[in-house]
Structure 1
Amino acid sequence: MTTTATHLRTIALHWQDLREAVGAPAQHGAFGLGLRGYLAALDQTDADRLEYDRHQAAHLRSLERSSDQIGERPAPVRLHILDTMRAVETALVETADQTAAVVQRSPMTYAPRGWPTADRARRDVLARADALDPRRWRYAGRRTAPYAALWLLARVARAAGPFTALPEREERHIGCVAAGAAARVERALDIAVQRRTLEQRHDCGGAIDVHGGEGRAPLAHCTGCGQIWTGQGTAVLG
């Protein structure tokens, strides 16, 4: 069973992949995209398929900036990746804020002025170290998704630090947020195993199951006759 800790590690480990994917070319052969285009053209002639490809190419060209514009064209941004990063980061940072408000102990106070000099010096050293403890969650400064994920992971793992016990309600909330955030990351990067059954039926009447994810090219097969298609539209068995 996938645990909250696994979800939080997934987010932290793949955050750099999301950063790199923001400016990467769109994967038009990713899960479902190229395959649906092929399946939609199964009953068409070769000429129809060529026409489909021509329209697709024209559409992609329309998304590019016209050549008569001045200046360098900025790198394309994959908005669904950027939206995923913003949503995940907001959710994790807010969850860390809420969790810290419940479990993070206030820093030790400095020594009163009336204490003996040596005792006050020792107390102030401890108080300063407690306030600067790197395990503390900060409400300003380093507030990124991977850092929040790792900080929450430490709380779920009951790691030592200036914290009280994590209540069950907060642990459940962290689990829900982590599961949802990890799922968004995996979908954005196409690293989760996915399987869908299309509404469209094959000529034989069988259902068409589509498999993809984990970075692999999508694959479809007919549950009736067993025919198989690749994401590039090539029948490899029939």
Structure 2
Amino acid sequence: MATTSAAARHLDTVITHWPDLYGILGTRTPATWPPAARMSEFITSLAELDTATAEATRARARYLRTQERDPGQIGASDPPLRIALLDVMHPLESGLLRMADAVAQAVQRPAYTASTGRGWTDPIHREMSMLAVRDAADPQRWRPDLLRTRNAVAAATWLRARAEGHPGPVRPLPEELRRHLTTVARSAAAAVDRALDLADRTAQLVRPCPLCGGRIDVQGGGGVDPTARCRRCGHTWATPPATTE
């Protein structure tokens, strides 16, 4: 059974999750780690505040939500798109497109051409002309001038086919170019992982353990809610469930 190359695995991450990046592009939830939206409640839980204090915190949160201005009102407002995410997506896509252009220039043969001087009356010339049209339109051919291929998914898909040695109007990748493609693909997948919080992460809280004063590590990522554990006493806290109040 053939094994998938490292470059192909990394490119699969880009291909699979690029639509997810677009899906969260218009949201206003910050992509910070640890998750800032719920870390105040998380830190509050470390101190094991009593019910009255917790209720006061929730009441203040409700009040602040009532003060949020409607985005339709006149005045300054947050941008409709998450600029930080765009700052990730734009160079990532540009890098994949440059890589596809470079690989195509190195390994893709030019499309067949047929002289137009003899017209369509010659059956052999007609067949050669049709062959040239089909070769130019081969879906395995990278077309830098084609608008629909100038996107991250199209570039990653084409590069994946090259990494796996799929048939097409190309020669096999030279080893040096294959290594470079693997590096680019790994970097692209890591950027997607960070943007979507797919990878496991660890962070250290500034606040010490309320039980022993030790350092607290927060672990999470990979779609899992973060948990905190004191290095000294080993006490563990789980992220409180999100409230709907």
TM range (shorter): 0.7 to 0.9
Change (3 A) 1:2 1:41: farther
SS of the equivalent of 1:211 reads strand
Matching residue within 155, 161, 166 for 1:148 = 155
Contact 1:29 1:231 survives alignment (8 Å): no
Work out whether 1:221 is the aligned partner of 2:224. Answer: no
Contact 2:34 2:203 survives alignment (8 Å): no
Q: Please state how far the C-alpha of 1:23 moved relative to its aligned partner.
A: 1.3
Segments of 5+ residues of structure 1 without an aligned counterpart are none
Distance in 1 between residues matched to 2:175 and 2:217, nearest whole Å: 40
CA displacement, residues 78-125 of structure 1 (integer Å, 9 cap, x when unaligned): 222222221211111111111111111001121475799222122111
Distance in 2 between residues matched to 1:114 and 1:191, nearest whole Å: 59
Segments of 5+ residues of structure 2 without an aligned counterpart are none
Contact 1:204 1:224 survives alignment (8 Å): yes
SS of the equivalent of 1:225 reads coil
SS of the equivalent of 2:141 reads coil
Change (3 A) 1:28 1:14: closer
Residues paired across the two proteins, number: 231
Distance in 2 between residues matched to 1:179 and 1:22, nearest whole Å: 22
- The code of the aligned residue for 1:208 comes to I
Work out whether 1:191 is the aligned partner of 2:198. Answer: yes
Q: Please state how far the C-alpha of 1:231 moved relative to its aligned partner.
A: 3.3
SS of the equivalent of 2:105 reads helix
Q: Which residue of 2 aligns with 1:211?
A: 219
Matching residue within 161, 185, 194 for 2:168 = 161
Q: Please state how far the C-alpha of 1:48 moved relative to its aligned partner.
A: 9.1
Change (3 A) 1:67 1:131: closer
Q: Which residue of 1 aligns with 2:111?
A: 107
Change (3 A) 1:36 1:193: farther
Contact 1:197 1:210 survives alignment (8 Å): yes
Q: Please state how far the C-alpha of 1:204 moved relative to its aligned partner.
A: 2.2
Change (3 A) 1:28 1:188: closer
Work out whether 1:88 is the aligned partner of 2:71. Answer: no
- The code of the aligned residue for 1:83 comes to D
Name the % identity.
Answer: 34
CA displacement, residues 148-200 of structure 1 (integer Å, 9 cap, x when unaligned): 11110000000100001211222122111111111111111112221234465
1:1-150 maps to which residues of 2 (within 5 A)? 3-26=6-29, 31-33=34-36, 34-35=38-39, 38-39=42-43, 68-69=73-74, 76-111=80-115, 113=117, 117-140=122-145, 141-142=147-148, 143-150=150-157
Contact 1:100 1:137 survives alignment (8 Å): yes
Q: Please state how far the C-alpha of 1:37 moved relative to its aligned partner.
A: 7.2
Contact 1:210 1:221 survives alignment (8 Å): yes
Aligned CA-pair RMSD: 3.8
Change (3 A) 1:95 1:229: same
Contact 2:10 2:189 survives alignment (8 Å): yes
Distance in 2 between residues matched to 1:48 and 1:210, nearest whole Å: 24
SS of the equivalent of 1:13 reads helix
Q: Which residue of 2 aligns with 1:171?
A: 178
- The code of the aligned residue for 2:132 comes to A
Distance in 1 between residues matched to 2:66 and 2:85, nearest whole Å: 19
